[in-house]
Structure 1
């Protein structure tokens, strides 16, 4: 659903990080998409960019054509995302010996998507609370050793994946313009990724968070801000019939949320010692690698649009 990188000047797959790396089974000669800086200097993107863009477009089209014929179909998309993401997160935690309560979290996570769409915030909160209780009880079978680590991983997974994801359902469930609110959310967040990606690899010089994600730059962040604000103003005025300044506020809020979301994902993977969460999408990595910005931006967009429109 997102573009090839994060919203702040490039993911950890940027040229500096990947130019000398080869993945498992790689020959080191995979096709790379080459861009050029203003002075003519070539810049390797570190991935097959056309394949990455095509993968994102296919997934985006799947979402688009599910929400306009019948918005409730989007619950199936989000439910599938919960299950795929749950598998990736569980494998990541398992690499450090932590046991996530997969069954109650998967069942409860899917139920939360339906609860958010058909029942609203009250049903969502109730379902999330019940899922948390069952997940805690589920771990009682394992005894005392590792209890705190396991339940912490389960609660993190509950909040980070199905709960944040369910805010997408709250957006599309709006009685008058739900589909357009969801499209606005996706377009503005993707615009952060696009602006940050190209500004970062073409102009990026000054590191933004070298300890957490060394290839993110302030120039890339500036590209994200510009892309988000422009997309926000256009989407709010053209699709939601709101004032342009609401779109600018939305864009600023999204770029901050998307940047934080990407940094959270980077820190999560670095702490667990993994590069990618999975191989779900060609040219993109795992599903969780691609929705990191969207997960954090979702509730922010819902709050901004609820308060200002």
Structure 2
């Protein structure tokens, strides 16, 4: 999520057009859904992952289609379900194997689809979406599969949300120096806010929920801030290349699901790796 420049309108939206009350309401609802599934029957969270990432996949395939890039949604969605199951009940090797199988499925699907013209373009885009966000989402299932997986997922979600909130607030209050032309509204002050918020939230929750050391939580949070920013920039590059503002409109005040998943999926691998090493 990009941080925004200062100022709000009388209608409750920011000067950039973002409806803050709607964005907050949607964020609270999404948080309640995640917590409700995690702390009842945690396997239900797998359905939340499949639903959210599935919508994100459809948004990406639709966006790619605006440039006549054909990505078959059915095998990608089937791969999403298979990779979540493989990651949760099998682990990393099964996740990798499922990815490899469905990458070949996509190549074969395209080979018998629309002839030779555009094969490399369509096949590359299809495997890209199978990786981002589909494969990366499998690391959420691997966080979940631990005995204390519910706590691990909450920490992952909390530090990523802290990155968005910290970056937004610091960008609004102090943002002056542009970070990169890829995302003009992203500032170094906003990134500093993300870093501080993530580090603090990570240190707090890791010590409280997992009994870890402060430095372990702070490291997880700091790395999450860095990778969440990278995720924002990756999606900005995709949208700029495709010539679109948002990948969807399903979430009032946010845009599409991928506009929320961009920072989440890029933080998953390092957070999973550090938690596996530490705990």
Instruction: Report the Cα offset of residue 48 of structure 1.
Output: 1.7
Length, aligned pairs only: 278
**Residue 144 (structure 2) aligns with:** 172
Q: Which has the higher strand share?
A: 1
Where does 1:169-248 land on structure 2 (aligned, <5 Å)?
A: 169-175=141-147, 177-209=148-180, 211-248=181-218
Q: Tell me if the contact between 1:82 and 1:110 (Cα under 8 Å) persists in the aligned partners.
A: no
Where does 1:1-309 land on structure 2 (aligned, <5 Å)?
A: 5-6=1-2, 10=3, 14-15=4-5, 31-33=11-13, 44=15, 46-141=17-112, 142-175=114-147, 177-209=148-180, 211-309=181-279
Instruction: Report the Cα offset of residue 126 of structure 1.
Output: 1.3
TM score, norm. by length of structure 2: 0.95
Cα deviation 1:32-65 (Å, max 9, x = unaligned): 346xxxxxxxxx4632211101101101110110
Query: What is the DSSP-based 3-state SS (H/G/I as helix, E as strand, rest coil) of the residue aligned with 2:186?
Result: strand
Query: What is the DSSP-based 3-state SS (H/G/I as helix, E as strand, rest coil) of the residue aligned with 1:214?
Result: coil
Partners in 2 of 1:100 and 1:45 — Cα distance?
32
Cα gap change, 1:222 to 1:15, in 2 (>3 Å): closer
Partners in 1 of 2:184 and 2:143 — Cα distance?
34
Q: Tell me if the contact between 1:66 and 1:74 (Cα under 8 Å) persists in the aligned partners.
A: yes
Partners in 1 of 2:43 and 2:131 — Cα distance?
22
Partners in 1 of 2:53 and 2:19 — Cα distance?
27
Query: What is the DSSP-based 3-state SS (H/G/I as helix, E as strand, rest coil) of the residue aligned with 2:248?
Result: coil
Q: Tell me if the contact between 1:55 and 1:281 (Cα under 8 Å) persists in the aligned partners.
A: yes
Instruction: Report the Cα offset of residue 186 of structure 1.
Output: 0.5
Instruction: Report the Cα offset of residue 103 of structure 1.
Output: 1.5
Q: Tell me if the contact between 2:19 and 2:252 (Cα under 8 Å) persists in the aligned partners.
A: no
Q: Tell me if the contact between 1:32 and 1:45 (Cα under 8 Å) persists in the aligned partners.
A: no
Further displaced range: 44-53 or 274-283: 44-53
Task: Mark the runs of 5 or more structure 2 residues left unpaired by the alignment.
Answer: none
Cα deviation 1:238-265 (Å, max 9, x = unaligned): 0010000001111111011000000000
TM score, norm. by length of structure 1: 0.86
Say what the alpha-carbon RMSD is for the aligned residues. Answer: 1.7
Q: Tell me if the contact between 1:45 and 1:201 (Cα under 8 Å) persists in the aligned partners.
A: no
User: Runs (4+) of structure 1 moved beyond 6 Å?
Assistant: none
Task: Mark the runs of 5 or more structure 1 residues left unpaired by the alignment.
Answer: 20-28, 35-43
